[in-house]
Amino acid sequence: MTTEGSPDAPGASATAVVEPIAVPTSSHGDPERREDAAAISDVRRSAIRGTLWNYSVFLVGKLVLFATTVVLARLLTPEIYGLMALALVIIIYADALNEFGISAAVVYLEDERRSNTTAFWLSLITGAASTVLVFLLAPALASLFDEPELVPVVRVLSLSFVIISLGSVHQARLRRRLAFARRVGPELAKSVVKAGISIGLAVVGFGVWSLVWGQLAAVTVATVGYWLVLRWWPVGPFDMGAARRIIRYGSQTMVVTFLGVVVRDMDYLIIAAGLGAASLGYYTLGFRVPDLVLMGVCYAVSQTLFPVLSRVRHDADALGRAYCRSMGTLALVTVPLGFGLFLVAIPFVEVVYGGTWEQTGPVLQLISLYFVFQTVQFVSGDVYKATGRQKLLIWISLARVPIGVALLLAVVDDGIVAVATAQVALSALVCAVQLGVASKMIGVGARPILAALAPAAAGGAAMVVSVSALQGAVPDASSWVVLGASVVVGAITYVPIAGYLGRSMVASVWKGLIRRRRSAVAA
């Protein structure tokens, strides 16, 4: 499960897909082919530039958020974390419907003034409606989970719908233009403000309200920041034709997003209902680091990859190359991170969070593997959206929901570790289905996909063997020693193997960076 805000927050970035498209090399005097090659090269440079800027946001913003999580874990109880996590799940469910896929439509459709103005007013209308609806339903939702303290928390957090809707089109237009450098300021301000207010209020004893006010302040600062950066005002009439186009595309995206939230967050709801807020608190913290590290990378890559794939969706060859290259390069980053977290989870929790959170260790181990499967299938979702085939995601999610609910309900009485184990199994199954469907849709066979994933898989397997051997040799060492030695040995093992086997992907990324630097110098 992933949630926005404290204690959860999707993050941002890595250089995982800085060259998703291979440029044709044989245009040989054909003007049209030369134009196509130049256009794809331009998109590639934009992707490189965007991913690097997203990496900057990730590196600073996630360090701030991680430090905030560590501090808050020592100031707040599992019950408080669980209450906030449950409130955020409710908000995220409503937000998936509130947004109505408008931001995705702005990225997908032509960048026209009338369409953008219409999208802004649609976003504001849906945001206000969602605030009112969630405010009125808060008592019933709190009763459902037997958590009366949930009512005021959910009602205050519902204000975020209106606040976010004021800046959602601005943010989407920057994504549409691949202007990721201009998003750095608002996103970093969001992280810093959230950290400062949440920690400050927690220190003076505000409890769950330290997280609530930190979240609201963060989204407010980000929205103001996007207005200052883009300096665009929604001027002009409301265009019904544009509204129909936005709703037609956005409604499908909304269904995909909502089903994604159901799939992603049903474990939180089931744990809250079956085991209570304290268990949900332990489980929530087990998601924190792999969510920030692994899905943070994917979230940032998607910010770059979705608009890039949308531009080349009519070129089947370029799309197929982008799919395999992006998946393989992303795996080079996420597989060692996921396997590494699995190997060091127990000493990590003891060293970083403290003895209060001991029950989080086994959950962190399993959820790290869960996120590995999530990241491997991640690029498939962007391919579906970029080609306008969100219905495939809808059908896959519709099939997954009843299976997931039945499986989690069957194991929840056995505790949060059993729930985490079930999540890993379900994620592995869905990963296989996603890869199979996507490969058939764009005409890419199993061999190129396996070849793209092989370097990360081989390096990860070697890392597991070497670190496990190390930990078995020093069973009585302190958690600090085990944690530090495991990180060093894992890196020394993984980097040479994965780097050698994936040298073509690494070289491709490096060439893209060199070209970008030369272009910047020439300009």
Query: Minimal CA–CA distance to 311: which of 363, 250, 386?
Result: 386
Q: Retrieve residue 511's tokens.
A: 């060439």
Q: 25 burial class (0-12, 13-18, 19+ CB within 10 angstroms)?
A: exposed
Contacts of 24 (CB under 8 A, 6+ apart): 33, 36, 37, 40
- Residue 231 φ/ψ, nearest 5 degrees: 50, 50
Cα→Cα distances 479→58, 355, 417, Å: 28, 12, 21
Which value, to the nearest 10 degrees, does the dihedral of the CA atoms of residues 121, 123, 127, 129 take?
60
With a cut of 50, which residues of the chain have pLDDT below it?
A: 1-29, 31-36, 38-40, 513-514, 516-523
pLDDT of residue 18: 32
Predicted pLDDT of residue 11:
32
What's residue 521's pLDDT?
Answer: 42
Residue with tokens 């009512």: 151
pLDDT of residue 31: 47
Element (H or E) spanning 239, and its range? Answer: none
Q: Among 102, 93, 157, which Cα is nearest to 126's? A: 102
* pLDDT confidence of residue 490: 95
**CA 334 remoteness from chain centre:** 12
**Non-local CB neighbours of 512 within 8 Å, separated by 6+ positions:** 18, 19, 44, 45, 48
In contact, 316 and 31? CB cutoff 8 Å: no
Distance from CA of residue 511 to its chain's centroid?
27
pTM: 0.71
Q: How far apart are CA 336 and CA 357, in angstroms?
A: 24
What are the residues whose beta carbons fall under 8 Å from the beta carbon of 325, sequence distance 6 or more?
17, 19, 20, 21, 22, 452, 505, 508
Chain-centre distance for alpha carbon 409: 26
Q: Please give the Cα distance from 66 to 15 (Å, whole number).
A: 20
| pLDDT per residue as tens digits for the range 60-73 | 776 787 788 888 88
Phi and psi at 206, nearest 5°, equal: -80, -10
